[in-house]
Chain A
Amino acid sequence: MSRVINQQFQVVILAGGHGSKMNPLAKDIAKPLLRVGNRPLISYVLEMMQKAQFDEVIIVTHSQMVSQIQSYLETSDIKSNTRIITVKEDLGTADVLRSIREQIRSDFIVISSDLITDAPLHHVADIHRVFDSTVTLLLHQEEKETLTQMQKDKFYYQDYIGLNEDNICFFGSSIDFEKRIKTKPWILNKYGEFSLHRNLTDSHIYIFSRWILDLLSIKKEISSIKGDLIPYLVSKQATLLQKEKYSKIFKRFHKQAPVQKSINCIAVIDSKEPHISKFNNYENVKSSNIFIRVNTVSSYKRANFEIAKATSELLPFEKKVSDDFVDATTNLVNDPFLTSPCIIGQCVSIGAKSVLMKSIIGPHCKIGENVKIQNSIIMDHVTIGNDCVINDSVICSNSLIQNNCELVSCVVGSTYSIEENSSYKNKLLKNMFNFSK
């Protein structure tokens, strides 16, 4: 029987981030393997890929993280073929695409590994197919409460996106602009009008057409996808194909389409309000229930609590026991008082009279007696002594908190030990030297 060598979309997962904005959390552990809701961060993206039935997934990291990611993949039960490619350190996202050029044979989807979402990827892919677009983005409209929360973060920046129906007219972020935003007159010539949005966040899910890789090999100054490539494509939409060197590459990959004079850059908006899409069939398209990009400490916390609430199909690995996620190996013999939703990992021992309120506790922790943990995230192998009060904090793995401590809104780095009878508020506690790695 004959087959057709069919190349649908390929997926490239960018897993090379250092987690510089979430300082002590990703120091000793590779950021893609950082536990959110007791699951490695990259497992959410991989689950999404598996549900969408991708048969080939490419993960791109650098040499320091490769061995850790590989060992994780071997132990997990992910069925799709995942390939790991190592690239040099300190490359921008577009440089990464340039270096994996030979591996990609068709239109491809770029996702960053720190995204936790159940957005409808097939909808974005359909729109990419129908309009033969060069780049298709997914934009998420945050609700007002989450927006106000996000704005308190010191690393927060706004995206300014100009849209005319679905076409992107303008793309920039507040980092690049101080006082004024400059747009070009051809936009008004072509579209007549466009609306500028400040409330849409870029999901960093991009679907690119294959000819972008050839474009990148000509334009070697483009280093980052979000910072350079997409603003370049958006601003040169109408004029790019007038230059011969670009129109030649374009025609090689777009033989079928009738003569196109401009490239299409299209944005798909994912929001809870019904919105109008040029592609008028939104029956099978639901908005995403969870959408968080984990790159700062506050978004890390938010992600953990969202997963614990179980609003989407992305659930912790532990089994659900009446509103909490408790692993089978822990025994709640001492009958701690739990306020849901909590997530408790493997082999956790909790002392008597302890109270856990809306917290996430990693595997192999030892929690003493009379401990009150509230709105906190405790990673694995942490020992907490008796009579402690931990509120709104993140405690990284292998830490030791001795008796009678009080921690409020702190971040404790890994393998850090806190002495008895100490109390800290709004502090970042970490070791100065790296003992592990």
Chain B
Amino acid sequence: MTKKERRTYYQSKKKEREQNEESKISQKQKKKQTKQKNKLEINQNKNVRWSSTDLFSITSHLRKYHSQNSISMGISFGEQKIHSSVIKLGLKFSSGIVKGTTNRSICLLNVFRDVINDMKIENIFRDEAITQLNKQIAFLEKYRPFSEPMYNVIKIVKNSILKIDPNLTYLEAKKHICETVIDNFIQSKIIDAENEISELGTQKIKNGDVILTYAKSRVIEMILKRAHKNNIKFRVLVVDSRPLNEGRELLRTLDKKGISCTYCYLNALSYMMKEVTKVYLGAATLLSNGAIVSRIGTSIVAMMARQFNIPVIICAPTFKFSEKKSTQVTQISSSAVMIQKSVLSINSCFLPNNNSTDGFHYPVPTYRDDQNLQIFSLLYDVTPIDYVSIVVTEFGLLPPTSVPVIIREFKKELTSN
């Protein structure tokens, strides 16, 4: 071969070699790509298997809520449809600043008062007031599910609007609802009722009693303070549980008054129950078959007390009584489930308030990194009628079987008003 031919020959061979290498590289790349694709698919399938909101089907029927801010609620500064106090209340509910059924009911009524006062009515007071209220209620309910007494309260307000004399002027109608219905309800059915309950409740406390209470209830706090004022010598055992740690607030207020208190978590209950003489518990709702819906952990306390033959005294004003039965309520009772995004810390050494009050810094993984981890905090549970000894309402001390009688009376009042 001549030089030229040799050159061209070797050049062509070089090209071939390069092409082969390229094809090899591209094959490798292709293999990599397919591998990655497969991985993605598997990952996606993983996510599909565990649905985006629920890891377990047990909790899929529960109504959940978590803390919001105005952007997640879709509220801008120019919001016209939702009243400003309703927005405030929605934020307070979802962030957990306002807790407790009675507190929430009072706040709800105050918000109704504001909304009705600020309404501008064009035609018929009745229809427009109800449509407005429905709007605001629908907004609030999205961000934290209501408890039964709140539905009772809403019914009462709506019924009174429907029964308004059509001849009244708008101002008079507004005044009627705000003063004779809402203010009257708060004063008589909540505040006066709680005072009455606190008096009746102290009747059962004797010198030397050890009273157990769980988490924090407005009425129980009033009873204990009143009993202390009446110079009865007793001591209190406050039982508490995570994540809300409500018992600490009760502990603080009782301690300030000079009542001698002990504090423990729910897990120490079987040990501490030996010393206890009476158990006083609050309630969120009282159902028509005598069962009690209350802060989660209450049924455990009641059951333990029953085991030790200790009387369990439930204190609740009558507006908390509901027509529903406990079979219907398993869907509703545990329904308020708080999703805690803040339980786990994010990189810094601080922990959010809930945990730092323990004084310990728990090393905990970050929430957002782990998509397979969801945190639910159940809020309510049902105590069956067998564990309840007596119910204290503003009408007196009743056995739990009398609850449907009271509900019937309550209904009569509703219809007559």
Smallest Cβ-Cβ distance to A49: which chain B residue: B77
A76 close to B (CB within 8 Å):
no
6 contacts across the A-B interface (CB closer than 8 A): A6-B118, A55-B77, A122-B70, A255-B113, A256-B111, A283-B72
A147 close to B (CB within 8 Å):
no
A3 close to B (CB within 8 Å):
yes
Whether A1 contacts B128 by the Cβ 8 Å rule is yes
Tell me, in angstroms, the Cα distance from A40 to B258 when the chains sit together.
63
Smallest Cβ-Cβ distance to B121: which chain A residue: A2
Whether B97 contacts A131 by the Cβ 8 Å rule is yes
Which stretch (B81-89, B271-279, B373-381) binds chain A? B81-89
CB of A258 to closest CB in B, whole Å: 7
Which stretch (B21-29, B231-239, B346-354, B385-393) binds chain A? B346-354
Whether A278 contacts B77 by the Cβ 8 Å rule is no
Whether B350 contacts A53 by the Cβ 8 Å rule is no
Interface residues in B77-102 by Cβ distance below 8 A to A read 77-85, 87-88, 91-92, 95, 97
Tell me, in angstroms, the Cα distance from A363 to B79 when the chains sit together.
39
Name 10 extra pairs, CB < 8 A, besides A2-B122, A126-B69, A276-B348: A2-B128, A6-B118, A7-B84, A8-B78, A8-B79, A52-B76, A106-B84, A129-B87, A256-B85, A274-B348
Contact partners of B132 in chain A: CB under 8 A: 2, 4
Whether B76 contacts A53 by the Cβ 8 Å rule is yes
Q: Which of A129, A255, A276 contacts B88 (CB 8 A)?
A: A129
Contact with B along A38-49 (1 / 0, CB 8 A): 000000000000
B115 close to A (CB within 8 Å):
yes
Whether A130 contacts B97 by the Cβ 8 Å rule is yes
Whether B122 contacts A1 by the Cβ 8 Å rule is yes
Contact partners of A125 in chain B: CB under 8 A: 70, 77
**Known contacts A6-B84, A256-B107, A256-B114; is A129 also within 8 Å of B76 by CB?**
no
The 8 closest A-B pairs by CB, nearest first: A2-B128, A53-B78, A256-B110, A280-B342, A53-B76, A284-B71, A129-B88, A281-B67
A interface list, Cβ under 8 A from B: 1-9, 52-55, 106, 121-123, 125-126, 129-132, 165, 255-256, 258, 274-276, 278-281, 283-285
Whether B83 contacts A4 by the Cβ 8 Å rule is yes
B interface list, Cβ under 8 A from A: 67-72, 76-85, 87-88, 91-92, 95, 97, 103, 106-107, 110-111, 113-115, 118-122, 128-129, 131-132, 341-342, 346-348, 350, 352-353
Whether B91 contacts A280 by the Cβ 8 Å rule is no
Chain A binding surface, main DSSP class: loop
Contact partners of B129 in chain A: CB under 8 A: 2
Contact partners of B88 in chain A: CB under 8 A: 129-130, 132
**Known contacts A4-B118, A281-B69; is A54 also within 8 Å of B348 by CB?**
no
Whether A2 contacts B131 by the Cβ 8 Å rule is yes
Smallest Cβ-Cβ distance to B73: which chain A residue: A126
CB of A159 to closest CB in B, whole Å: 23
Contact partners of A6 in chain B: CB under 8 A: 79-84, 118
Contact partners of B111 in chain A: CB under 8 A: 256
Whether B78 contacts A55 by the Cβ 8 Å rule is yes
Smallest Cβ-Cβ distance to A9: which chain B residue: B77
Contact partners of B122 in chain A: CB under 8 A: 1-2
CB of A120 to closest CB in B, whole Å: 9
Whether B78 contacts A2 by the Cβ 8 Å rule is no
Whether A274 contacts B69 by the Cβ 8 Å rule is no
Contact partners of A280 in chain B: CB under 8 A: 67, 95, 341-342, 352-353
